[in-house]
Amino acid sequence: MKIRSYIIAALSWVFLAAPAHAVLHIDITQGHVEPMPIALPDLAGSDVGAQIMQVVAADLERSGLFRPLPKDAFIEQVTAETSLPRFGDWRQISAQALVTGVAQVDGNNIHVAFRLWDVYGEEQMVGKEYNTFASNWRRTAHIMADAIYERLTGENGYFDSRIVYVAESGPDTHKIKRLAIMDQDGENNKFLTDGNFLVLTPRFSPNSQEILYMSYAGKEPRVYLRDLQTGREESLGTFEGMSFAPRFSHNGESIIMSIANSGTTQIYKMDLRNRQLIRLTSGSGTIDTSPSYSPDGAQIVFNSDRGGSQQLYVMDANGGGAHRISFGDGKYGTPVWSPRGDLIAFTKMAGGRFYIGVMRPDGSGERLLTESYLDEGPSWSPNGRVIIFSRQQPPSGGREGASHLYTIDLTGSNLREVITPMDASDPAWSPLLPL
Amino acid sequence: MRKSVQYYDRDRRKGRKYSAVLHLLVLLLLIFGLPNFMMPRPPAEPMAVTVEILPISEMSNVKPSAQQPQEQKPEESKTIPKEAPPVQVADDTPPPPPSEASILPKPTPAPTQAPKPKPKPKPKDDLAAVLKAVKETAQKEKAKVKTELADDNVNQSRSTHYDPGLPMSMSEIDAIRSQIAKCWNVPSGARNAQDLVVMLRLQLAPDGSLLKVELARESESRYGSDSFFRAAADSARRAVQECSPLKNLPADKYATWRDMEMTFDPKEMLF
């Protein structure tokens, strides 16, 4: 009897066992690339809430990755009492993300709290609050925009950063060039020098507190270091010949620059603690310049004419193992290593046109992002996603064309002008400001 | 004594009988393979093969008008999870940490009752009868599945065969692909974007609406540790949610598309 029931059970199993359920598998390789629709209603609680959201919306919109939805389309009106949004209302207007929050002013202080919602997933993605001086509302907005950007793109933000550049004014023959600094969105513009001397190529230190630049203040053009908070300026030593094209190392402890002497330009490293100078390249009659460290400090990219034409080279941080990485038509200059480490941006000159381009550190995957009469001097946003550069218009009516600052996404889309009070060149983007 | 020998002999004879039958059965199984009554019987022409080779097969192109069940059975679509808010919001308290670990971890009702094979064959003395009983139960089960699923679709489907396990044709799969492609906003420009391949597991209701979406298990830890991957996974999940309900799904193949795996691979979309 027992055996029989076993047999029945076994046979039932054999006959009835469902086949292994093959799950339908579909590969999705096509989509579209367009800005994410995001709803940014004013922060409730005070008037400054609207101002903050305006800055947040402008930051996100400028990145080219977000499309803030018009406020008159909103169905739900968010108030200070709104604890959970009505997600259906936001889906109705195709918002994929939503930011709600409050901004309360208390005397000189401000309290800002916000939440970023996933409208389709119906859950909170980020929730943060800030307490600071009311005068800091604009910076608070940038920090908030960074938090939103980071969660939705996976990338670090870059809105809480500044740009130093050379402001140009006056006629071509007596052009006044002053160092100026502003927020990355063009606000809070300030001049750092008075314009008595020509200044060029300002560069930020890794802590955003100091800048290096080249100035004609002395008899010969030299590299200077300036503390942004105290305004103190110092020359980094006198050398035989002109020193220029300075940049900080990744940790800010040393700098690299070029020194030109009797027809030969070499790259030097200077330790900022003891001012010791070490020569990194050698050769005679060649020009090695525009050095830039990799973010880990292990390598340096620079341009050199040692092979006949001006091309890009990468060498070890101690000067060994230099090898050429650019092999396209034309000349390459002003390479700068992305803070993300994956790309090198450069200026390219070919066929009478100028281009801003990027390539991988091994020289592969060259892509040209911009083209004009004169594009030059790329500098990376702190997250390595956007490049700022200067673009000069062709001369007209016997006058030099005006120069302005532009940004471009590393995908080659979203070209935007950065509005400055006067003509501008030589931009350098700071790292994220220390909190 | 004699009696016991007799019993012994009878038992032995019986044992031999069982043994012979079982050996025969094993031999038959070896020769013909496992019979499977749950498996769809191949139609007259080898359809699965033609479907794979021809871009659009006549069979698979028959649209069983998936919208109709939607209209007729509105209660089906109510199973889309729109329930308790995932995040507790308390006024005047610091925002809770974002619940990032889960990608839509919502409890969802099962779409349709999966057929439960519960054979209760009545034991009979004869082995043949046992086999027959088992067979009958299997067929009954199969018939049950058929009627359960066919209830929804029998009037809408113009296909002559009903078969829950019918493979999808290329044109049907392409239809799903093109719908999702319209909803998928690809994360571009991320570092190593070519490595941001996301696999999602979906469960769909008979009207094509999304019941459940989750990240494939092997990607879960990466979701927590890699912010680029998290953004990519979120974009894939949003695409699936935004595209719900999927349209023009062949109703007679619900069993095939009820559970789906979707791989989102941005490498062709890189700049």
Please state, as a whole number, how many other Cβ atoms lie within 10 Å of the Cβ of residue B44. Answer: 7
Among A16-30, A160-174, B154-168, name the one with the lowest average pLDDT: B154-168
Percent of chain A with pLDDT strictly greater than 70: 95
Query: What pLDDT digit, counting tens, does each position of A322-369 carry?
Result: 999 999 889 999 999 999 999 999 999 999 999 999 999 999 999 999
CB atoms within 10 A of CB A54: 14
Please report which confidence band the pLDDT of residue A402 belongs to, taking 50, 70 and 90 as the band edges. very high
Architecture of domain A36-153: 3-Layer(aba) Sandwich (3.40)
Say what the pLDDT of residue B131 is.
62
**If you count them, how many residues does chain B have?**
271
Best to test chain A binding among B186, B196, B202 (most A CBs inside 10 Å): B186
Q: Do A14 and B173 touch (CB under 8 A)?
A: no
CA dist., res. A17 & res. A29, Å (int): 36
Q: Which residues of A touch B117 (CB under 8 A)?
A: 16, 18
How many angstroms from the chain centroid is the CA of residue B55?
23
What's the pLDDT at A44? 92
Q: Do residues A26 and B172 make contact, with C-beta atoms less than 8 angstroms apart?
A: no
CB A181 within 8 A of CB A190: yes
Percent of chain A with pLDDT over 90: 74
User: Which residues in chain B touch residue A85, judged by CB atoms under 8 angstroms apart?
Assistant: none
Which residues contact residue B208 at a Cβ distance below 8 angstroms, ignoring those fewer than 6 apart?
Answer: B66, B70, B244, B245, B246, B247, B249
Distances (CA, A) of B263 to B101, B169, B215: 20, 18, 10
- Tell me the shortest Cα–Cα distance from A188 to chain B, in angstroms: 30
Residue A242: in which H helix or E strand, if any?
strand A242-248
Inspect the interface and report whether the beta carbons of A27 and B141 lie closer than 8 Å: no
3-state secondary structure of B214: strand
C-alpha distances (whole Å) from A166 to each of A202, A346, A374, A426, A428 are: 8, 19, 16, 6, 9
Interface mutation vs chain B, best among A30, A38, A111, most B CBs within 10 Å:
A30
Edge-to-edge strand order for the sheet containing A288-293? A288-293, A299-304, A311-316, A323-324
> Which letter does DSSP use for residue A32 in this model?
B
Report the gap between the CA of A125 and the closest CA in chain B (Å).
Answer: 5
Angle, CA B211 vertex, CA B208 and CA B214 arms, to 5°? 120
Count CB atoms within 10 A of the CB of residue B183.
Answer: 19
Chain A environment of B135 (Cβ under 8 Å): 15
Minimal Cβ distance to A24: which of B104, B257, B265: B257
Distance to chain A for B199, nearest Cα, Å = 9
- Cβ contact (<8 Å) for B130 and A14? no
- Please report which confidence band the pLDDT of residue B12 belongs to, taking 50, 70 and 90 as the band edges: confident
Domain boundaries, chain A: 36-153, 162-429
Tokens linked to A337: 């290593």
Using the predicted structure, report yes or no on whether residue B86 has a pLDDT greater than 60: no
> What residues of A are in contact with residue B259 (Cβ under 8 Å)?
21, 23-24
| CA dist., res. B66 & res. B55, Å (int) | 21
β-partners of residue B204 are B210
At residue A19, the pLDDT reads 47
What CATH number was assigned to the domain covering residues A162-429? 2.120.10.30
Q: Which two tokens stand for residue A54?
A: 């305006």
- Average pLDDT for A21-33: 84
d(CA B87, CA B96) in angstroms, rounded, equals: 8
Three-state secondary-structure class, residue A302: strand
Split at pLDDT 50, 70, 90, the class of B33 is confident
Residue A5 has pLDDT above 90, yes or no: no
Interface test with chain B among A123, A129, A342, by most B beta carbons within 10 Å: A123
CA distance A113 to A130: 6
Q: pLDDT band for position B114 (50/70/90)?
A: very low
Q: State the alpha helices, DSSP H only, in A75-234.
A: 87-92, 137-153
B7, exposed or middle or buried, with CB in 10 Å at 0-12, 13-18, 19+? Answer: exposed
Question: Which 8-state DSSP code applies to residue A104?
Answer: E
**Contact assignment for A33 to B131 by CB distance below 8 Å:** no
CB contact under 8 Å between A28 and B38, yes or no, is no
Task: Identify the band that residue B135 occupies on the pLDDT scale cut at 50, 70 and 90.
Answer: low
Tokens for B241?
């949610």
Residue with tokens 């300030």: A190
A116 contacts in B (CB within 8 Å)?
98
Record: contact B99-A124, CB cut-off 8 A: yes
Who contacts A65 (Cβ-Cβ below 8 Å, separation ≥6)?
Answer: A35, A36, A149, A152, A153
Tell me if A342 and B180 make a contact (CB, 8 A cut-off). Answer: no
The letter for the amino acid at B49 is V
Q: Specify the pLDDT at position B129.
A: 63
For residue B245, say if its preceding peptide bond is cis, omega within 30 degrees of 0: yes
DSSP A44: B
Closest residue in A to B34 (Cα–Cα)? A14
Q: Which of A1, A30, A115 sits opposite B181 (nearest CB)?
A: A30
| Whether pLDDT at A3 is above 50 | yes
Report whether B157 contacts A307 (CB < 8 A): no
**Mean pLDDT in residue range B244-262:** 89
Q: Do A32 and B239 touch (CB under 8 A)?
A: no
Are B259 and A23 inside 8 Å of each other by CB? yes
Cα(B102)–Cα(B215) distance, integer angstroms: 9
Weakest-pLDDT range from B23-37, B67-81, B163-177: B67-81
With CB atoms and an 8 Å threshold, state whether B95 touches A124. Answer: yes
Q: Is the pLDDT of residue B99 over 90?
A: no
Q: Which residues contact B78 (CB under 8 A, 6 or more apart)?
A: none
Q: What is the mean pLDDT of chain A?
A: 91
How far apart are the C-alpha atoms of B150 and B178, rounded to whole Å?
Answer: 28
Banded model confidence at residue A197, pLDDT cuts 50, 70, 90:
confident
Beta pairing class for A374-380 and A367-372: unpaired
On the question of pLDDT at A243 being above 90, the answer is no
Return the C-alpha torsion angle A265, A268, A272, A273, nearest 10.
Answer: -140
Mutate to test the interface with B, among A16, A152, A156 (most CBs of B within 10 A): A16
Q: Which chain B residues contact residue A96 at CB under 8 A?
A: 185, 238, 242
List the single residue in B236, B241, B260 with the smallest CB-CB distance to A23. Answer: B260
**Arithmetic mean of pLDDT, A95-110:** 94
Q: How far apart are CA B67 and CA B77, in angstroms?
A: 12
Q: What is the Cα–Cα distance from A251 to B113, expressed in whole angstroms?
A: 63
Best of B30, B83, B122, B191 to disrupt the A interface by mutation (most A CBs within 10 Å)?
B191
Pairs across A and B, CB distance < 8 A: 206
Q: How far apart are CA B180 and CA B174, in angstroms?
A: 10
Chain A residues inside the 8 Å CB shell of B118? none
User: What's the pLDDT score for residue A68?
Assistant: 97
Amino acid letter, residue B174: D
Whether A118 sits inside 8 A of B234 (CB atoms) is yes
| Rounded-to-integer distance, Cα B28 and Cα B21, Å | 10
**What value does the mean pLDDT take over residues A378-383?**
96
How far is the first Cα of chain B from the last one, in angstroms, to the nearest whole number?
93
Inform me whether the pLDDT recorded for B175 exceeds 60. Answer: yes
SS3 B174: helix
